[in-house]
Amino acid sequence: MGVVLATLRQRFEAFISTFDGYENIDALLEGQHLPDKNRADYLLWGRTIVVEQKSLASDPTDRVQNYADKLKAEGRLIVYGTMSIDMLSDDLRREFVLDLAKNIDAIVAKADRQTEDSREIFSIPDALGVLVILNEKAGMLDPKVIHYALANVFQKKAADGSLRYPANDGVILIPEAQVIDTPHGRRIPLPRFTSPHRRANDRFLQFSDALFAAWSSFNDVQLIKSAP
């Protein structure tokens, strides 16, 4: 009897190893001392793609009440009874969403360094950089919230006015915390986000299309692909 791959991370790692040209970067660099160098997770398609994989491991549910309490303490919110996010002004709703997803900033910043350093380590400056975010448990962070957070962090600028996080060309989100059960079986929405620098849009869209099709087949579920 085969081993049951219980978690999303386990299943994705088994899945990605089936891709053409798959190489595990940790295995490639085992035993090598590379001070001050970060590394991504995988190389694919003849080292033309660098993939960094991240996971959202916990659901930030407590932040909802904490945020409401903070607004009340600051006198910016007066609420009697149950509060809905729809009761907030546009500015407060934006602030709330970014607070709810603020760990996305740390994920993007770390992945930027890992992708850039991996290009340098393997001398592949033109390789496509892709960040894959696995969301198995953070039900509060639905794809729209994450997309909003990504749009905010990818627009951040460095002191010279350039984009602060230019290394990755796009983000693929696999949000199994939001699997949809229908009379026809389970369906998984698969959103993607393209970097605002847009230097490799066509290549990123081509790769993400291939990954989406293969992932839905791997899981035997219907694919729902959002617009770029």
Measured CA to CA, the distance from residue 19 to residue 144 in angstroms comes to: 28
> Where a domain ends, among 99, 127, 157?
99
44 and 148 co-located in one domain: yes
- Using CA atoms, how far residue 53 sits from 30, 79, 83, 92, 141, in Å, is 19, 40, 35, 31, 17
In a domain, residue 141? The reply is yes
85 and 186 co-located in one domain: no
pLDDT of residue 184: 67
Phi, psi (deg, nearest 5) at residue 81:
90, -155
Which residues, 6 or more positions from 146, have their beta carbon under 8 angstroms from its beta carbon?
101, 104, 133, 135, 173, 175, 191
Q: Which two tokens stand for residue 132?
A: 């894959």
Which residues, 6 or more positions from 39, have their beta carbon under 8 angstroms from its beta carbon?
25, 26, 29, 114, 117, 118, 121
What tens-digit pLDDT sequence spans the chain (228 residues)? 444 557 899 999 999 999 999 999 999 999 888 888 999 999 999 999 999 999 987 666 666 666 667 776 777 665 555 555 556 667 777 777 777 777 899 999 999 999 999 999 999 999 999 999 998 877 777 888 888 899 999 999 999 999 999 999 999 999 886 666 667 666 777 889 999 999 999 999 999 999 999 998 998 877 766 555
pLDDT of residue 59: 62
- For the entire predicted model, the pTM comes to 0.85
pLDDT of residue 64: 62
pLDDT of residue 1: 40
In a domain, residue 2? The reply is no
In a domain, residue 41? The reply is yes
Give the number of domains in the chain. 2
82 and 139 co-located in one domain: no
How do beta strands 192-194 and 170-175 pair?
antiparallel
pLDDT of residue 74: 72
In a domain, residue 3? The reply is no
Strand locations in 29-135, DSSP E? 42-44, 49-56, 128-135
187 and 212 co-located in one domain: yes
Q: CA torsion sign, 74 to 75 to 77 to 81?
A: positive
pLDDT of residue 126: 97
pLDDT of residue 137: 76
Q: Which two tokens stand for residue 198?
A: 């847009």
83 and 110 co-located in one domain: no
76 and 125 co-located in one domain: no
Which range of residues forms the domain containing residue 31?
A: 8-56+101-225
Distance of CA 135 to the CA centre of its chain: 8
72 and 150 co-located in one domain: no
> Where a domain ends, among 99, 121, 154?
99
Measured CA to CA, the distance from residue 40 to residue 101 in angstroms comes to: 22
Give the DSSP letter of residue 61.
Answer: T
115 and 154 co-located in one domain: yes
88 and 201 co-located in one domain: no
